[in-house]
Structure 1
């Protein structure tokens, strides 16, 4: 399986609003990838439903732990990788299983927990080279800060 490339796009929402984190896979924002998938397979509602994670709104803990599937706030076996376009992750999250080994990090078993009947088997899996993934997490942590809430102490 070829490796995907990941980076975490960090932008402030609106004019000086909170920091929003959107994973980008092979150069495409995950919000666009999931919108395209849901629309293509005829899910309703679909399109413009997801947004990035806003650490200031929910204490995910250190982003390095969160995006390795080890969030300090137990959310079950899966990790939110996107939230709702409204900014609240719990409103309409995209959840994924994140499995890390010495060589790879894999995102798979995607789900929309508010629509259990939806089938995401054909979305992903995404496999990232562990060194490239760790570099992307270091870049993210440099922007977000070590406490993970998107603010600077």
Structure 2
């Protein structure tokens, strides 16, 4: 599997003025990737349902732990990688399994926990070079500063 590149885009949430974190894979926001997948699969509702994670709204613990699958606030074995477009991750999250090995970080086993019948087996997996991933998380941590916990 070819490694993809990840970065974490930090923007002010349009309605709330807080920092929203949207993972971007090979330059495309994960929100767009999942919207396109859901629309192509005929899922309803679909399109503009997801937003980024807002660390200020939920204490995930250190953001580095969160994006390495060790969040203290995660639901079970999966980690929220997107939240609802409203800004609340628990409202409409996109969950993923995050696996860290010495060489790679993989996001797979995506699910929408409020729609258990949805099949995301064709979405991902996304595999990142471990060093590039670590650098992206460091940049994110620095961008968030004291707002990360």
Task: Report the TM-score when normalising by structure 1.
Answer: 0.94
Whether the 8 Å CA contact 1:94–1:111 is kept in 2: the answer is: yes
- Distance of aligned partners of 1:16 and 1:41 in 2 relative to their CA distance in 1, 3 Å threshold: closer
Deviations 1:63-109 (A, max 9, x none): 11000000123421000000000000000000000000110000000
Tell me if structure 1 keeps the 8 A contact 2:60–2:74: no
Q: Structure 1 residues 119 and 23, CA, compared in 2 at 3 Å: closer, same or farther?
A: same
Change in 2 beyond 3 A, CA 1:146/1:132? farther
Paired residues, number:
149
Structure 1 unaligned runs (5+)? none
Q: What residue ranges of structure 2 are gaps of 5+ in the alignment? A: none
Q: Is the 8 A contact 1:102 1:130 kept in 2?
A: yes
Question: How far did 1:136 drift?
Answer: 0.1
Three-state SS of the structure 2 residue aligned to 1:106 is: strand
The SS at the match of 1:56 is helix
Superposed counterparts of 1:17-56, under 5 Å: 17-56=17-56
Q: Distance in 2 between matches of 1:16 and 1:22?
A: 15
- SS of the counterpart of 1:42? coil
Q: Find the counterpart in structure 2 of residue 136 from structure 1.
A: 136
| Structure 1 contact 62–146 (Cα < 8 Å) conserved | no
Instruction: Quote the offset at 1:13 in angstroms.
Output: 1.4
Secondary structure of 2:34's aligned partner: helix
Higher share in helix: 2
Return the offset for 1:144. Answer: 1.0
Instruction: Map 1:2-21 to 2 at 5 A.
Output: 2-14=2-14, 17-21=17-21
Cα separation, 1, equivalents of 2:74 and 2:116:
20
